[in-house]
Amino acid sequence: LLQPALTTENRAEWMAAVEPDATETAYRAIPWRNQFWPAVQEARELGRPILFWT
């Protein structure tokens, strides 16, 4: 198995192939907080419910 050389010509194409595209990252449209306890405190200040994905 060890493969064509990774070249300056195909580097950008490989970068795009490895990175997720817009469809795969659509979940980022939700403004996720990334720590549970600070989010609880924010919800208390706002008087809002919490959606928790864990």
Partner 1 sequence: MVWSDQRIQKLAENFVPVADEVYMLYPEDPYNLERVKDEPAHQLFKRFGESMPKGDWNHPGTKQGIYLMGPDGEYLEGRFAAGSDPKDIAQRIERALERWEKLRKDKKYANKAVPAVGEQLPPDVAGKPMVLRVSLRDLKSLDKPSATPRWREGAFDDGAWAGFMQWAWNQNWIAFDEPQRWIPRGDDEHKLPDELVRKLCREVLVDNVRGQAPPWDDEQVEHAELRVRRVGRGTPWLLAYSGEARMKHGERGYEASLLGEAEWDPARKEFVRFELVALGMRRGAAQFNQRENDKGPKPMGVALRLYRPAPKSR
Residues lying near partner 1 in the complex (CB under 8 A): 1-8, 10-21, 23-24, 26-37, 39-40, 42-44, 46-54
Sign of CA dihedral 12, 16, 17, 19: positive
Residue 23 C-beta: closest distance to partner 1, Å: 6
Q: How open is the CA angle 14-19-21, to the nearest 5 degrees?
A: 115
Closest approach of partner 1 to the CB of residue 34, in Å: 4
Shortest Å, Cβ 37 to partner 1: 4
DSSP annotation of 19 = S
